[in-house]
Amino acid sequence: MGDVIWIVGAGRGIGRCLALELARSGATVMASARNGAELEALREAAAGGAGRVVPLPLDVTDRAATARALAEIETTEGLPDTVVLNAGTHQAMPAARFDAGLCDRLFAVNVGGVINGLEAVIPRFVARRRGRIVTVASVAGYVGLPTAAPYSGSKAAVIAMCESLRPELAQFGVTVQVVNPGFVRTPLTDRNTFPMPFLMEPEAAARRIVEGMRGGGFEITFPRRFTWLMKALAMVPYPLLFALTRTAIPDEAKPAAATLPEAKDAR
């Protein structure tokens, strides 16, 4: 694979392993993340392989900087064949401590970062009549989960956007794909204190993504046993759904343990 591939969110976790997997296959991987040191370490890890990693530091919440980054890639390497919009973050938020600022931060990265990338790349791919856009969402976007209102909401938004874009952009030769992972061992999931069924290693997740990209189907999801359970959960009637998700509420989010915030005065 001698393609030029731009990965946003390549500094760690799934994005890092995906960059290494693609570089090993011969791709030129333009790797973006906010942490330049992580990108340099990624470049060194990929050295000596069939392809290469080129660091391109970027804060994907900066729309103008995202557009400039793509323009730089186009100038130095040519317009990418594939763009992977992988940047994302998560922080639990118990409902009793609803935090608009936390919601804003998660949506800025998980949704705003995707939007900024799409705005930069879609016109170029449409004009060329070719390209692949891969966004990374989550099975948490299938159904709202306890303490994950901003995360589930942001990932549901990404999935819906991709569903809207796929048939339209196909008319211009542009393929849109969405990745919906279950639990994958990353610095984000390392924070979780609850059991994570069918936990996958990021290297295995990266291989599944590459296979899915080559297959061309809309959704790339794994591990299948878990993601099909989540799909089934999203289809049950709401009374049953809420009875099931209520059992997943962690102790720290229950009334006996919750520290209620003071009501904000709107005057």
Q: Which among 38, 39, 45 is positioned nearest to 6, based on CA atoms?
A: 39
pLDDT of residue 67: 98
What's the number of domains the chain is made of? 1
Which domain CATH number covers 231?
Answer: 3.40.50.720
Are the CB atoms for 26 and 5 separated by under 8 Å?
no
Parent domain of 194: 4-253
Residue 265 lies in a domain: no
pLDDT of residue 195: 58
Q: Are strands 82-85 and 4-8 parallel, antiparallel or unpaired?
A: parallel
CA dist 38 → 56, 122, 244 (Å) = 11, 28, 40
Length of the chain: 267
- Is 151 designated active site? yes
pLDDT of residue 261: 56
Residue 199 lies in a domain: yes
Distance in angstroms between the alpha carbons of the first and the last residue of the chain: 60
CA dist 199 → 6, 130, 182, 189, 227 (Å) = 27, 35, 8, 10, 12
Q: Which among 130, 127, 128 is positioned nearest to 175, based on CA atoms?
A: 130
pLDDT of residue 267: 45
Q: Are strands 82-85 and 219-222 parallel, antiparallel or unpaired?
A: unpaired
Residue 155 lies in a domain: yes
Residue 258 lies in a domain: no
- Among 6, 151, 183, 222, the active-site one is 151
Residue 94 lies in a domain: yes
State pTM to two decimals: 0.91
Q: What is the pLDDT along the chain (267 residues), one digit of tens a residue?
A: 569 999 999 999 999 999 999 999 999 999 999 999 999 999 999 998 899 999 999 999 999 999 999 999 999 999 999 999 999 999 999 999 999 999 999 999 999 999 999 999 999 999 999 999 999 999 999 999 999 999 999 999 999 999 999 999 999 999 999 999 987 776 665 565 555 566 788 899 999 999 999 999 999 999 988 899 999 999 999 999 999 999 988 888 889 755 555 555 554
Residue 142 lies in a domain: yes
Residue 158 lies in a domain: yes
Are the CB atoms for 137 and 158 separated by under 8 Å?
yes
Residue 259 lies in a domain: no
pLDDT of residue 194: 54
